[in-house]
Structure 1
């Protein structure tokens, strides 16, 4: 069994597809979202050259992190960007040439186009209204019918990497387990290696365990690399430090064991090697898209959410996030572990029925 394990580990490290699906693919997404950080969602706004840049309105806009003010383009260039959707709007603040008619001091002209993102336009208008209200409070102090009392409680900063990394970690486990196991056992069966193994005195269970152990060790290495990069490079939250890391690793191995069952099923029912990718994609692709890998399942329509919530990857991703960010322990994850266990029992029952040695 140990000899099979060592040989399989060497084969995986020499396999480009195994390295890509287990390490390179999730690392690319982690790097992208890690570098994006909290800077996503900036609204680009062009400032007309005739605008009163000394006005309090302009200063309010310039001090808003959500806005990126474009002042280094000509009017023609901004008009072209506006038509192509590169700018949300062009703003002109007229103040100096207004007739003396208090209390109106400024007129603000907002020019947008049909290519403008409606959400970005709403964000800009909301920021403008907030800035005008703040300016009104300075210029015309007045009584109010209500007073807002703010209270800020200490909490953890939730970064994009805290959501993305567990999702990518879960998907790397799913894809490596399904594709790796399916291709491996189909190849071993097709080349009659499994038949020769079966003819030796070694118990058939040790053959399966040897291949499974090699996958567990290989994916443990990949999980350590992914979590370590997220923690040291992008500040991924590990609430309880090394204890959280160990619990995530244990949960990853449990999830991998469950997902390997899908690989055994695919390898057992595949008739040719060319049928493995589409069959494996039927298992992995819906979970990649719907199981909370990039965004919460709550953003999907109500009719689609029940489908999302029966997928095993949904519960693995949720459990990883609760351990890493919320500080829960494995014994606090009863519902998630129960669903994963049920999936494991069902899928291995099917795998036993369809598994073939030759």
Structure 2
């Protein structure tokens, strides 16, 4: 009596063998854990010592019909965000906006103005000090050019109003980007080199002689990579929490949501790796093909710098990249306390990318 061939058992056997191979590969471990940790260390320390960007909003009832407002508006070190209501309150509480600036006529000297500052506990005190320096510089410039023989046209209130807020640290921006960096690198370079070598060593050709289908071969290799890379993600997050106070708003629940998001994104990124391995004619052609997928995302997907820092004409391209959607969802979940359901737009975009890349991957799959 013949025993029915089990595609599932064959897939698990492939996954087990591939996972062991990953653990024994120094390059895989370095790319998955080593490089992201080096970037986390470098950017965390660099970010803590650099001057923060100053974003402000103008209070709704502020007097904006005077020269003081126009001078502040033109200041090169200050960006004015047009926000109000709940959106403004939320961004202030989360440190996205340094302060709300209020400009009013001085009740004791009607010809002069008083500048009030409203900020939150989420804002680095250094940012408020820099804002005050910028404002004083603009007031001095205005005094010198228009009122050299008069009293200062404006003064800054010594009393800074603070509302409650969660402190947004450099690590809260850097770690999600580096986790995405790790997942994308492993998903594309790791899978591309692995499958190319399996093809070169005729391992896939031997698989072809067995009843296992190409779908289960791909799933088996994918499973091993997913398990290995999720372990790497756990290590990165633990180091971030323990040594750099990375924010997990809802603790273990947030951690589980991040793990699901990482799993989902890794599956998508690995599809790109399968495409690269299928298109590459030799081992030397893998890096150029892989870099077509990875370099634009490393540089433009908000991995190292906010997308808002790029020119406006470039931002629409940045916002369609799959790594951008992972980074956005990761930061919203870890720091903002958002749920997976509330990140449905980012997850939906990742799903669309996944369908596209796996449709191409199955088309270009080769046994030898």
Task: Measure, in 2, the Cα distance between the counterparts of 1:130 and 1:144.
Answer: 10
- Alignment equivalent of 1:8, drawn from 11, 18, 27: 18
Q: Distance in 1 between matches of 2:155 and 2:263?
A: 59
Task: Sort the Cα spacing of 1:148 and 1:2 in 2 relative to 1 into closer, same or farther, 3 A.
Answer: same
Residues 284 and 147 of structure 1: CA distance in aligned 2, closer, same or farther (over 3 Å)? closer
Aligned to 2:263: 253
Q: 2:168 aligns with which of 158, 167, 174?
A: 158
Q: Provide the secondary structure at the position in 2 that maps to 1:151.
A: strand
Count of aligned positions: 272
Task: Give 1:13 deviation, angstroms.
Answer: 1.6
Matches within 5 A, 1:146-225: 150-225=160-235
Aligned to 2:310: 300
* TM superposition shift of 1:343: 0.6
Give TM-score, length-normalised by structure 2.
Answer: 0.69
* Shift, 1:206, TM fit: 2.5
Structure 2: runs of 5 or more not aligned: 1-10, 53-129, 141-150
Mean alpha-carbon deviation: is it higher for 123-132 or for 296-305? 123-132
Q: Give unpaired runs (5+ residues) of structure 1.
A: 43-121, 133-140
Distance in structure 2 (CA, Å) of the matches to 1:338 and 1:192 = 37
SS at match of 1:152: strand
Deviation, 1:16, is: 2.1
Q: Is the 8 A contact 2:139 2:152 kept in 1?
A: no
1:279-298 alignment, distance < 5 Å: 279-298=289-308
How far does residue 2 in structure 1 lie from its aligned partner after superposition? Answer: 2.2
1:24 Cα deviation from its structure 2 partner: 0.3
Distance 1:282 1:145 in 2: 53
Match of 1:277 among 273, 287, 292: 287
| The structure with more radius of gyration | 1
For residues 313-328 of structure 1, what are the structure 2 equivalents within 5 Å?
A: 313-328=323-338
Q: Quote the Cα distance in structure 1 between the aligned partners of 2:363 and 2:136.
A: 65
Distance in 2 (alpha carbons) for counterparts of 1:144 and 1:318:
40
Per-residue deviation at 1:302? Answer: 1.0
In structure 2, how many angstroms separate the alpha carbons of the residues matched to 1:186 and 1:301?
Answer: 38
User: Offset of 1:144 from its aligned partner?
Assistant: 7.8
* Alignment deviations for residues 262-297 of structure 1 (CA, whole Å, 9 cap, x no partner): 011111111111100111011101100000001111
| In structure 2, distance between residues paired with 1:26 and 1:36 | 15
Structure 1 position 233 matched with structure 2 position 229: no
In 1, Cα distance between equivalents of 2:294 and 2:16: 27
Work out the CA distance in 2 between the residues paired with 1:142 and 1:11: 72
Aligned to 1:336: 346
What is aligned with 1:85?
none
Kept in 1: contact 2:226–2:263 (CA 8 A): yes
Instruction: Verify: 1:309 aligned to 2:309, yes or no.
Output: no
Q: Is the 8 A contact 2:139 2:154 kept in 1?
A: no
Q: What's 1:353 paired with?
A: 363
Structure 1 residue 128, shift from structure 2 partner: 7.2
- Structure 2 equivalent of residue 242 of structure 1: 252
Instruction: Measure, in 1, the Cα distance between the counterparts of 2:170 and 2:155.
Output: 39
Task: State how far apart, in whole Å, the 2-side matches of 1:177 and 1:40 are.
Answer: 33
Relative to structure 2, which stretch is displaced further, 4-13 or 242-251? 4-13
Counterparts of 2:286 and 2:266, CA distance in 1: 19
TM-score by length of 1: 0.70
